[in-house]
Amino acid sequence: MYNAESISKVLKGELLQQTGNPEIEHILLDSRKLSFPETSLFIPLVSSRRNAHQYIPELYEKGVSNFIVSEPVPEGKYPKANIILVKDTMQALHSLVAWHRQQFHIPVIGITGSNGKTIVKEWLYQLLEKDYNIIRSPKSYNSQIGVPLSVWPTKQEHTLAIFEAGISQPGEMEHLEKIIRPTVGIFTNIGEAHNEGFLNIRQKINEKLVLFSKSELLIYCKDYLALNECVLNFHNLVGKKDSHESGLQLFSWSRKTEADLRITSVDKSEHDSRINALYQTTPIHITIPFVDEGSVENAIHCWALMLHLGMSQSVIQQRMDQLGNIAMRLELKQGINNCSVINDSYNSDLGSLTIALEFLQQQQQHPSRTVILSDILQSGKSDASLYEEVASLLLQKGINKVIGIGKNITREKKSFQQITGLKSSFFLTTEEFIQQFNQQDFQHETILLKGARVFEFERIGKLLEQKVHQTILEINLSAVAHNVKHYQSLLKPATKLMAMVKAFSYGSGSFEIANLLQFHGVDYLAVAYADEGVELRRTGITMPIMVMNPEPASFDAILQWNLEPEIYSLQLLKLFSEEVQLAGKTGFPVHIKLDTGMHRLGFEKKDIPELARILSESSLLKVNSVFSHLAASEDPAMDHLTKQQGQLFFEMSHELQKALGYAVIRHIANSAAIERHPDLQLDMVRLGIGMYGIDSANTIQDQLRPVSTLKTTVAQVKHLAAGDTVGYGAKWVAKGPSVTATVRIGYADGYPRRLSNGQGKMLVRGQLAPVAGIVAMDMVMLDVTHIPDVTEGDEVIVFGDTLPVQQLAVWADTIPYEILTGISQRVKRVYFEE
Ligand SMILES: *Cc1c(COP(=O)(O)O)cnc(C)c1O
């Protein structure tokens, strides 16, 4: 049991004040995620941009009474709190959890590598859950913050732990090693992902190997040459170090050479793969219900571990046969009756329930939130206290309705019924729920489906989700968050961030993105037209919103919804002032646009005295910011123009501020300027395309993550003879026997007609297939002659991670902005978080 006193001792911190000594159970790093105030310890992390100490008053108000701080706190301000002072809060977090880890003497599996960490972890969980009470990292919690949060809930009842570790720069693994202290390691593989931050691949491998400095065994694949060499060196260094320790043993597998587990062949059929191997000279095999290479590799890692654990080959075989898909993400889909559905129906444990509830809590679009929850399997707690805890979690997260499915949750329904304001109903089985299902019971709500695999909640998902046209645009919200954070890291500490969500957030959807940005503490939003802003307000976005094209017809809406117009001419200034006066308001916020060389919209230098005079003589308007737009910030050849614009902006904004007599936010930098012209970051920057994963200057592209994937499906496959023609105007002629696939996307979806006749290509079964003939309104034909086994229903990638939208733009002779914003509204957007 921990309390402030014992934790302070562990950390060698200074116990600034102590009042009582309540038990501490939870670590809280993000003030928005507070669930259990009485038993939480808040550790405010500090970065160059954010200092979480600012949330202490708010959390104290909400009943948190344990804090670790690295800054002095005003004496007497928190009379009921226990406060521990340390030098560095991140270090304290790491030391505390490392110390907690020392309390356990169970096998701990540590997983690192470039790809597959989460799948291997989740598969091991599926494969071993019958034999062990397992604690594992939730989702992909593998960072400097995610790892401590994963390890902290380890309890005496656990008999096996599985944690993943990921790093982005040298020096990080040392911390994670102390926290995880794996007894067995798995190095999944090494790829080029996240090579940034490292000099080269060997430096990256060596850094990752640090995780296994104290391990007894390391499982890895010999076939990655650099990895094999680094592992052998590492083994020489640590493996034989201490005579009293047994050192590190290696367990290798290979498809090419001698190894502990020698893979002799992999036979793939339509739906499964049989993997044959030699182990200690005995031929053995497993069959997995997957055919892709990644799955084969991940399964072999799991196999090696099970062999090491001494499990019988027949048990291994039987469990491998039942490996299931891992939902790597929380998807947000459109549901029936104007609902939204978050489908997380593959496992249920407290950790992942908490994460899913946090995601649900962030959704503002509907007035009410519903959770459909199955029995929670595997927790090591008694049912009564478990469902007490779940019920109080639902209360904390503001859930309005819960539907419990399963014997256990039904038995404990009292815990839920005693919460006022929480509607509840219970069913013994999924089948029973489905039989009594009535569409009309679900209206305007966000519904979280959270069930263990055996409950087959995907059947409920089918009832609640709207059927979609098979062409979809997937938006990775985690990637947007990553990109925003990356740009934030490039900013000077005091510089604010305005996010450009005009044009339906560059095609990615409006409130879903805005909601995320609001959550991540972006300062401002900008839209092109007032109705976009109104839409955001209606869906619960409360942060300031600038409107760049405030037409007189929309003034009403601007005033009513508290939007902030861009004023770019004296005429507009006059008209808008009159409207403000009519409405009886004063000090209404506006943004002044200056033209410094783009020659699109904005006041020119000669207008400034007149503008300043009008503004300072009236109290109707308050200038919140003054800004200008750069014409070519991404282009080194045009840097003289950018400099000149910057200089002119500086002079004009200075003149205006002086006349106004108060300070206003100045901003001129767009995405490319943030990185290329840091001296122009000023008081705020306007981030657009970069947030969506595209670096138009192409200098930090490898540090951004692609956000959107446009996918469609094959509607029909045709076998043609030489001379047959394809499509309108018979523009494509088969040179020999050919196969084409007709896919469900056309120019009406935003696929450019310019990409006709081989100009564009799509990915079918991982291979590029050129467009055959003319792009039609709703359909495109692809030449798939060279791609075996293409079948109706196959997924086709139009652009995404492996086929960047930038490439499509080059083929279509345009820019990614046009492709992204051109994807029509009939293409449904599906959002997910990793
Ligand atoms: C669209 C826009 C931006 C964002 O530009 P990116 O190149 O997408 O970063 C910034 N400022 C204004 C005025 C814009 O219209």
CATH number of the domain enclosing 336 = 3.90.190.20
Instruction: Report pLDDT for 242.
Output: 55
The Cα-based distances of 10 to 70, 97, 666, 749 in angstroms read 16, 10, 47, 60
Q: Does residue 358 or residue 636 have the better pLDDT?
A: 636
Instruction: Report pLDDT for 100.
Output: 97
The answer, yes or no, to whether any atom of ligand 1 lies below 6 A from the CB of 505, is: no
pLDDT in tens, 31-88: 888 888 999 999 999 987 789 999 999 999 999 999 999 999 988 899 999 999 999 9
What confidence category does residue 352 fall into, taking pLDDT thresholds of 50, 70 and 90?
confident
Out of 88-92, 189-193, 396-400, pick the least confident.
189-193
Identify the residue whose C-alpha is closest to ligand 1 atom 13: 629
Please indicate if the annotation marks 781 as binding a ligand. Answer: no
The answer, yes or no, to whether any atom of ligand 1 lies below 6 A from the CB of 547, is: no
* Residues 664 and 756 both lie in one domain: no
Q: Which two tokens stand for residue 643?
A: 């400099």
The total number of structural domains that make up the chain: 5
Give 508 Cα–ligand 1 centroid separation in angstroms: 15
- Cα–Cα distance, 81 to 205 (Å, whole number): 44
pLDDT in tens, 411-426: 999 999 999 889 999 9
The answer, yes or no, to whether any atom of ligand 1 lies below 6 A from the CB of 686, is: yes
pLDDT in tens, 751-806: 999 999 999 999 999 999 999 999 999 999 999 999 999 999 899 999 999 999 99
Out of 128-132, 401-405, 462-466, 646-650, pick the least confident.
462-466
Contact between 427 and 320 (Cβ < 8 Å): no
* Residues 26 and 114 both lie in one domain: no
* Residues 177 and 301 both lie in one domain: yes
Ligand 1, residue 689: give the atom nearest the CA.
8
Q: Residue 725 pLDDT > 50, yes or no?
A: yes
Query: What are the contacts of 453-456 at 24+ separation with CB within 8 A?
Result: 453/324, 453/345, 453/346, 453/347, 454/377, 455/345, 455/374, 455/375, 455/405, 455/406, 455/430, 456/345, 456/430
Q: Does residue 549 or residue 453 have the better pLDDT?
A: 549
The answer, yes or no, to whether any atom of ligand 1 lies below 6 A from the CB of 689, is: yes
Give 194 Cα–ligand 1 centroid separation in angstroms: 27
Kindly state the percentage of the chain with pLDDT values over 70.
Answer: 97
Asked whether residue 672 is assigned to any structural domain, the reply reads: yes
Residue of 497, 505, 649, 686 with the most ligand 1 atoms within 8 Å of its CB, for mutation: 686
pLDDT in tens, 103-119: 999 999 999 998 889 99
What confidence category does residue 539 fall into, taking pLDDT thresholds of 50, 70 and 90?
confident
Asked whether residue 98 is assigned to any structural domain, the reply reads: no
* Residues 416 and 482 both lie in one domain: no
The answer, yes or no, to whether any atom of ligand 1 lies below 6 A from the CB of 671, is: yes
Instruction: Report pLDDT for 445.
Output: 94
Give 476 Cα–ligand 1 centroid separation in angstroms: 21
Q: What is the CATH number of the domain that holds 273?
A: 3.40.1190.10
Instruction: Report pLDDT for 790.
Output: 95
Instruction: Report pLDDT for 469.
Output: 63
Closest CA to 357 of 444, 423, 449: 449
Would you please indicate which residues are annotated as catalytic (active-site) residues? 502, 728
- Cα–Cα distance, 63 to 72 (Å, whole number): 20
Contact between 51 and 24 (Cβ < 8 Å): no
Mean of the pLDDT values across residues 471-478? 92
Q: Which of 70, 93, 116 is the last residue of a domain?
A: 93
Q: Chain-wide mean pLDDT for the chain?
A: 92
* Residues 377 and 410 both lie in one domain: yes
* Residues 493 and 639 both lie in one domain: yes
Mean of the pLDDT values across residues 414-440? 93
Ligand 1, residue 696: give the atom nearest the CA.
7
The answer, yes or no, to whether any atom of ligand 1 lies below 6 A from the CB of 119, is: no
The answer, yes or no, to whether any atom of ligand 1 lies below 6 A from the CB of 816, is: no
> Domain range holding 134?
104-321
Kindly state the percentage of the chain with pLDDT values over 90.
Answer: 78
Asked whether residue 182 is assigned to any structural domain, the reply reads: yes
Ligand 1, residue 817: give the atom nearest the CA.
8
Closest CA to 781 of 708, 724, 828: 724
Give 670 Cα–ligand 1 centroid separation in angstroms: 5
Q: What is the CATH number of the domain that holds 579?
A: 3.20.20.10
Asked whether residue 99 is assigned to any structural domain, the reply reads: no
Q: Which of 44, 72, 93 is the last residue of a domain?
A: 93
Q: What is the dihedral of CA 297, 303, 304, 309, to 10 degrees?
A: 160
Antiparallel, parallel or unpaired: β 472-476 and 708-720: antiparallel
- Cα–Cα distance, 428 to 87 (Å, whole number): 53
Residue of 527, 625, 629, 684 with the most ligand 1 atoms within 8 Å of its CB, for mutation: 629
Give 688 Cα–ligand 1 centroid separation in angstroms: 5
Q: Residue 641 pLDDT > 90, yes or no?
A: yes
Q: Which of 446, 467, 488 is the last residue of a domain?
A: 467
Which residues are within 8 A (CB) of 224 and not within 5 positions of it... i.e. 6 or more apart?
A: 189, 190
The answer, yes or no, to whether any atom of ligand 1 lies below 6 A from the CB of 670, is: yes
Asked whether residue 727 is assigned to any structural domain, the reply reads: yes
What confidence category does residue 143 fall into, taking pLDDT thresholds of 50, 70 and 90?
very high
Instruction: Report pLDDT for 666.
Output: 98
pTM summary value? 0.74
* Residues 187 and 314 both lie in one domain: yes
Identify the residue whose C-alpha is closest to ligand 1 atom 1: 688
Buried b (16+ CB within 10 A) or exposed e, 65-84: bbbbbbeebeeeebeebbbb
- How would DSSP label each residue in 327-368? --SEEEEEBGGG-EEEEETT---HHHHHHHHHHHHH--SSSE
* Residues 592 and 653 both lie in one domain: yes
Ligand 1, residue 506: give the atom nearest the CA.
8
* Residues 518 and 643 both lie in one domain: yes
Antiparallel, parallel or unpaired: β 588-594 and 564-567: parallel
Out of 318-327, 542-551, 586-595, 657-666, pick the least confident.
318-327
Give 807 Cα–ligand 1 centroid separation in angstroms: 21
Beta strands in 646-707 (DSSP E): 665-669, 684-687
Q: What is the CATH number of the domain that holds 794?
A: 2.40.37.10
Mean of the pLDDT values across residues 680-701? 95
What confidence category does residue 736 fall into, taking pLDDT thresholds of 50, 70 and 90?
very high
Ligand 1, residue 627: give the atom nearest the CA.
13
Give 37 Cα–ligand 1 centroid separation in angstroms: 42
The answer, yes or no, to whether any atom of ligand 1 lies below 6 A from the CB of 688, is: yes
Ligand 1, residue 671: give the atom nearest the CA.
9
What confidence category does residue 244 fall into, taking pLDDT thresholds of 50, 70 and 90?
very low
Asked whether residue 281 is assigned to any structural domain, the reply reads: yes
User: What residue type is assigned to position 552 of the chain?
Assistant: P
What confidence category does residue 364 fall into, taking pLDDT thresholds of 50, 70 and 90?
confident
- How would DSSP label each residue in 520-552? TT--EEEESSHHHHHHHHHTT--S-EEESS--G
What confidence category does residue 213 fall into, taking pLDDT thresholds of 50, 70 and 90?
very high
- Cα–Cα distance, 362 to 516 (Å, whole number): 8
Closest CA to 371 of 401, 408, 328: 401
Contact between 276 and 309 (Cβ < 8 Å): no
Give 729 Cα–ligand 1 centroid separation in angstroms: 40
Strand partners, 250: 218
Give 690 Cα–ligand 1 centroid separation in angstroms: 10
Q: What is the dihedral of CA 369, 370, 376, 381, to 10 degrees?
A: 50
* Residues 670 and 525 both lie in one domain: yes
Please indicate if the annotation marks 777 as binding a ligand. Answer: yes
Identify the residue whose C-alpha is closest to ligand 1 atom 6: 688
* Residues 229 and 124 both lie in one domain: yes
Contact between 755 and 786 (Cβ < 8 Å): no
Ligand 1, residue 670: give the atom nearest the CA.
9
The answer, yes or no, to whether any atom of ligand 1 lies below 6 A from the CB of 365, is: no
Mean of the pLDDT values across residues 655-666? 94
The answer, yes or no, to whether any atom of ligand 1 lies below 6 A from the CB of 744, is: no
The answer, yes or no, to whether any atom of ligand 1 lies below 6 A from the CB of 734, is: no
* Residues 69 and 144 both lie in one domain: no
Asked whether residue 824 is assigned to any structural domain, the reply reads: yes
Asked whether residue 441 is assigned to any structural domain, the reply reads: yes
- Cα–Cα distance, 341 to 690 (Å, whole number): 28
Identify the residue whose C-alpha is closest to ligand 1 atom 12: 629
Q: Residue 603 pLDDT > 70, yes or no?
A: yes
Mean of the pLDDT values across residues 309-326? 92
Q: What is the CATH number of the domain that holds 66?
A: 3.40.1390.10
- Cα–Cα distance, 396 to 394 (Å, whole number): 5
Q: Which two tokens stand for residue 56?
A: 């202490």
The answer, yes or no, to whether any atom of ligand 1 lies below 6 A from the CB of 779, is: no
Mean of the pLDDT values across residues 127-153? 93
Half-sphere exposure of 22 (CA within 13 A, CB side): 19
- How would DSSP label each residue in 70-117? SS---TTSSTT-EEEE-S-HHHHHHHHHHHHHTT--S-EEEEESSS-H
